[in-house]
Chains A and B, each alone.
Chain A
Amino acid sequence: MTTFSDLTRLPDARGHFGPYGGRFVSETLSFALEDLEKTYMSLRDDPDFQAEFDHDLAHYVGRPSPLYHAERWSRQLGGAQIWLKREDLNHTGAHKVNNTIGQALLAKKGGKPRVIAETGAGQHGVATATVAARLGLKCDIYMGAEDVQRQKLNVYRMHLLGANVIPVESGSRTLKDAMNEALRDWVTNVDDTFYIIGTVAGPHPYPMLVRDFNAVVGREARKQSLEQIGRLPDTLIACVGGGSNALGLFYPFVEDEGVHMIGVEAGGDGIETGRHAAPLSANAPRGVLHGNRTYLMSDEGGQVLETHSISAGLDYPGVGPEHALWKDVGRVEYVAANDEAVLEAFRELTHVEGIMPALESAHALAHAKVLAPTMRTDQHIVVNLSGRGDKDILTVAKIDGVEF
């Protein structure tokens, strides 16, 4: 029987989270991953490295991000108090930068002059292009051709930052295909290139190090809860695509058994329609993609399925392996929010609190909207507001029938 404190000691030496995770890659990548693992393990407990990371987070990213009491929205919902962890206020507008700062430091230590990344909504691409600009690194961003269309603003933002955005035309032309292409690039250019993966998926050690770099979110939220609420929250809610913002928030609370955690996946048109991106909530079979074993949406022949979501950032058929284990052991509850409910939450928070959330984060808000009224007014929910919605204005305008 796994106890919750055991969970914090994972992954094991081979990068496994129970039956999930691992390093399922072609031999051509093994060397680079071993090298990265060695570099990271030698630095993760190095006080100088941590100090440099913390310094960048404070002075470049603007951390700590506030824990904001959404009083008006809470009152309107008539139940639990909702607190927003304001990752949207970070430099570049999302939690993604926590990780890119960390991995860019690793790239620098490893002396790599070039970084590459995959991106879905473009937030990770922007965060990578940003740190690359700051460190003077050459930067190529792979982005599904479909997402390039959906997220034009972020594409141009990356151009302005000096990055080269490469549209990926293969497969479903979304996030998973961008990741395939980035892996192919890395295999070819491994000598001078560092691959900054944007989520807690991919081969070991990525799920571990992306989690570690994002765990600052949960550490802050825990401390802020004790200070501002006077105790730990009852419930944490975060959206889950690959799952990096959720792991970042949840991880420091794993041993706090009284804290209920809920990951909200992209329900798309509804789980029952098959048009979604919610492998955990839909109980997708176990599978292997992008170097790790996890819950994976694939057909009976084992071919990876196309996913559907209003938010490009959650449009991914797999999920970080640590989430897969947390589902199995019951530490985290996973649910899905449909596109329609997500849009409603997006509009509601914008109207009631003057905060425009990213469509990804609006998944977490949509579930908070359902859950809060079922709770007492002296109970507290912390929602990870993982990103801001500026990038989604064109998407929402289009739904409203407005063209610019």
Chain B
Amino acid sequence: MNRIDQRFADLKEQKRTALIPFITAGDPAPEHTVGFMHALVEAGADVIELGMPFSDPMADGPVIQKACERALKHNVRLSHILAMVEEFRRQDNETPVVLMGYLNPLERMGLQAFAEQASASGVDGVLVVDMPPEEADEIAPLFKEYHLQSIFLVAPTTSKERAAIICDHGEGYLYYVSLKGVTGAATLDVTSIDQQLESLRQMTSIPLCVGFGIRDGETAAAVGKVADGVVVGSALVSRIADNCERPERAREELKRILSDMRQALDACPGRCFRQDDL
């Protein structure tokens, strides 16, 4: 079984909500990324989303944009990122790793080469932000061939018709974008998220994870009540930004924030629990 499916099956059994941290590969410098990944796992990460920096991250707010700029100053490329995952896998063969980024670097490397090498490095899933399922004709079969799961986004504005298409193509988990806007934006409306997730559950049985707007234990727990997992990105990346010159400190901060979220999630019976009651 793919690591992502295995992890969600385990979580369901343990009645726990998935905690999915996002960091940008190579931020603030390439040599810190693998250490950060291990720290995140120690603090309770269930899946790691690793951002592939891009010069033009159109769907990201200023926090992730700056992380991309910091990483790209070191000329971080896909080949480096795959080497990081490979290094991570030497110590951790359990935690799923999902690469998240934009299509152009993948196309430039060659989709076949990317799929082959990502799979060999121990990557489990890929989320290409600017590639909706309608444009995935070429990439989807390659990902299948190399056992990479295609993770897709669903937005509050996604129509029923489109949601059906996305559910059809999505593997691993669906990433529900909880707000309109870019990453790192404002406030959450849990009731409306709950309604939207319920309607998605009519169409798919894969886990539904929620991201955008989760910044601390409280917001994580609130969303954890209605989702199978929570994704936290900008809240972590901004700690890295504040501690660029002190990577050890950044690492401790990542652990601290994520541990808080882990505790808050575990203290609050999540949706997996509720579902079994039904």
A71 at the interface (CB under 8 A from B): no
Identify which of B6-14, B56-64, B89-97 touches chain A: B56-64
B130 touches A24 (CB 8 A): yes
Q: Which of B145-195 contact A (CB under 8 A)?
A: 152-155, 157-159, 162, 166, 177, 180-182, 185
Is B130 touching A31 in the complex (CB atoms < 8 A)?
A: no
Return chain B residues, CB-CB under 8 Å to A25: 58, 130, 132
- The residues in B between 186 and 220 inclusive whose CB is less than 8 angstroms from any CB of A are none
Q: Is A161 an interface residue (CB 8 A)?
A: no
B107 lies within 8 A of A26 (CB):
no
A140-169 interface (Cβ within 8 A of B)? none
User: Residue B142 at the A interface, CB < 8 A?
Assistant: no
Q: Which of B72, B78, B131 contacts A24 (CB 8 A)?
A: B131
Do B158 and A31 touch (CB < 8 A)? yes
A170: B residues at CB distance < 8 A: 62, 65, 69
Q: Which residue of A lies closest to B103 (CB)?
A: A288
Contact with A along B33-71 (1 / 0, CB 8 A): 000000000000000000000111111111001000100
Q: A25-B132, A188-B180 are in contact. Are A301 and B159 (CB under 8 A)?
A: no
The answer for the CA separation of A300 and B134 in the assembled complex, in Å, is 26
B130 touches A26 (CB 8 A): yes
Cβ of B77 within 8 Å of any chain A Cβ, yes or no, is yes
Min CB distance B118 to A, Å, is 14
CB <8 Å contact, B109 and A176: no
- Taken residue by residue from 8 to 49, chain A's Cβ proximity to chain B (1 for < 8 Å, 0 otherwise) reads as 000000100000001111111011101000000000000000
Which of A252-260, A290-298, A351-359 contacts the other chain? A290-298
State the Cβ distance, A62 to closest chain B Cβ, in Å.
36
Given contacts A24-B103, A176-B56, contact A291 B181 (CB under 8 A): no
Question: What is the total of A-B residue contacts with beta carbons within 8 Å?
Answer: 120
Number of interface residues of A (CB under 8 A): 38
When the two chains form the complex, which single residue of A180, A188, A289 contacts B104, counting CB atoms closer than 8 Å? A289
What does DSSP make chain B's interface, helix, strand, loop or mixed?
A: loop
Report yes or no: B108 in contact with A23, Cβ–Cβ below 8 A: no
Residue of A nearest to B131 (CB): A24
Given contacts A26-B130, A26-B153, A188-B181, contact A304 B159 (CB under 8 A): no
- Residues in B neighbouring A189, C-beta threshold 8 A: 180
CB distance from A118 to the nearest CB of B (A): 12
> How many residues on chain B are close to A (CB under 8 Å)?
44
Q: How far is the CB of B113 from chain A (nearest CB, A)?
A: 12
What's the Cα separation between A142 and B62 when bound, in Å? 15
- On whether the beta carbons of A180 and B105 are closer than 8 Å, the reply is no
With contacts A26-B129, A183-B58, A190-B157 taken as known, whether A14 is within 8 angstroms of B134 at the C-beta atoms is: yes
Tell me, rounded to whole Å, the shortest Cβ–Cβ distance linking B166 to chain A: 7
A111 adjacent to chain B (CB < 8 Å): no
Interchain CB contact under 8 A, B72 and A303: yes
Contact check, B105 vs A302: say whether CB atoms are below 8 A apart: yes
Contacts of B263 in A (CB 8 A): none
Interchain CA distance A287-B108 in the complex, whole Å: 7
A289 partner residues in chain B, CB cutoff 8 A: 56, 104
Q: For residue A15, give the distance in angstroms from its CB to the closest CB of chain B.
A: 9
Q: Which residues on B sit within 8 Å (CB–CB) of A298?
A: 55, 104, 108
Residues B108 and A300 in contact, CB atoms below 8 Å apart: yes
| Interface status of B276 (Cβ within 8 A of chain A) | no
A285 within 8 A of B: yes
- Tell me which residues across on chain A come within 8 A of B158, comparing CB atoms: 27, 30-31
Most buried by A among B58, B59, B109: B58
For the complex formed, measure the closest distance between the CB of B65 and the CB atoms of chain A, giving whole angstroms. 6
B108 to A187, Cβ gap below 8 A? Answer: no
A301 near B129: Cβ-Cβ < 8 Å: no
Q: Can you name 27 A-B pairs with beta carbons within 8 Å?
A: A23-B134, A25-B132, A26-B58, A27-B153, A27-B154, A28-B59, A28-B181, A30-B155, A31-B159, A34-B159, A171-B56, A180-B57, A184-B58, A184-B60, A184-B61, A188-B182, A286-B107, A288-B102, A288-B130, A290-B58, A300-B77, A301-B76, A301-B77, A302-B54, A302-B106, A302-B108, A304-B55
Q: Which 8 A-B pairs have CB atoms at the shortest separation, nearest pair first?
A: A302-B105, A302-B108, A31-B157, A26-B59, A188-B181, A27-B153, A301-B77, A303-B55
